[in-house]
A and B are shown apart, each in its own frame.
Chain A
Amino acid sequence: GNSVTQMEGPVTLSEEAFLTINCTYTATGYPSLFWYVQYPGEGLQLLLKATKADDKGSNKGFEATYRKETTSFHLEKGSVQVSDSAVYFCALRANTGTASKLTFGTGTRLQVTL
């Protein structure tokens, strides 16, 4: 079956540091890949997505590239801010069939300090 593996958190960084959160996946075929972010007390917000190999998703300074050869979708940001502190979830979904059945990783908590 499908699965997503994320690096264990928490990740603690100083403001303006470089961020990488690793995500690898196992899936049948070529799924779409997503990063969602969850701020304290809130639901999930879509951060970025990529629907095919070599696609790069980007939003708010965050980027992730769909690497089929390494089955990875690592999240990066060049300079984090305190406001980026949240839990980040990597997820995948098949490109056919239902839109709603996402497989999520366990989440990685990011804490950014001044």
Chain B
Amino acid sequence: KAGVTQTPRYLIKTRGQQVTLSCSPISGHRSVSWYQQTPGQGLQFLFEYFSETQRNKGNFPGRFSGRQFSNSRSEMNVSTLELGDSALYLCASSLMWTASSGANVLTFGAGSRLTVL
């Protein structure tokens, strides 16, 4: 079955612009989460959605936002882009949003690489 699909794979923006990234989870997966990966900070949790509701949020400014649609697809938006927002943004999906004692694992997409000039 198809994996987690992220679009676009690459994009270049300039400071002050905004960007929207899209994520289609594995069919049947209802939880979607987002991570930012940078050389300096590594992998950091952004937020998680389940049933169109944000369940958890990492320590990022309000410029970072997301949403989930009724078909479980998710988008994240970054407004007023800064140079430091250049990163690989990874989306992951899982069946449910609860850890279920380790049984519920995340499957990641290939990522969207954002470059801010």
- Interface residues of chain A: helix, strand, loop or mixed (majority): loop
Expressed in whole angstroms, the Cα–Cα distance for A50 and B102 within the complex equals 8
Chain A residue at smallest Cβ distance from B95? A99
Chain B residue at smallest Cβ distance from A89? B43
Q: Is A43 touching B111 in the complex (CB atoms < 8 A)?
A: yes
Question: For the complex, is A22 an interface residue (Cβ under 8 Å from B)?
Answer: no
Question: For the complex, is B109 an interface residue (Cβ under 8 Å from A)?
Answer: yes
Expressed in whole angstroms, the Cα–Cα distance for A100 and B74 within the complex equals 14
Most interface-central of A36, A50, A93, A100 (chain B CB within 10 A): A100
Total count of chain A residues near the partner, CB < 8 A: 28
Q: Is A102 touching B45 in the complex (CB atoms < 8 A)?
A: yes
Contact of B108 among A45, A49, A97, A101 (CB under 8 A): A45
Total count of chain B residues near the partner, CB < 8 A: 31
Residue-wise interface mask of A (21-50) relative to B, using a CB-CB cutoff of 8 A (1 in contact, 0 not): 000000000001010100001111110011
Q: Is A99 touching B104 in the complex (CB atoms < 8 A)?
A: yes
Q: Which residues of B contact A44 (CB under 8 A)?
A: 43, 90, 92, 108
Q: Is A106 touching B94 in the complex (CB atoms < 8 A)?
A: no
Expressed in whole angstroms, the Cα–Cα distance for A99 and B42 within the complex equals 19
B residues contacting A by CB (< 8 A) are 4, 6, 31, 33, 35, 42-43, 45, 48, 55-56, 58, 90, 92, 94, 96-111
A residues contacting B by CB (< 8 A) are 32, 34, 36, 41-46, 49-52, 89, 93-102, 104-107
A-B contact pairs, 24 of them (CB 8 A): A32-B99, A32-B101, A42-B110, A43-B6, A43-B108, A43-B110, A45-B108, A50-B102, A51-B101, A89-B43, A95-B101, A97-B98, A97-B99, A98-B48, A99-B96, A99-B98, A99-B100, A99-B104, A100-B94, A100-B97, A102-B45, A105-B42, A107-B42, A107-B43
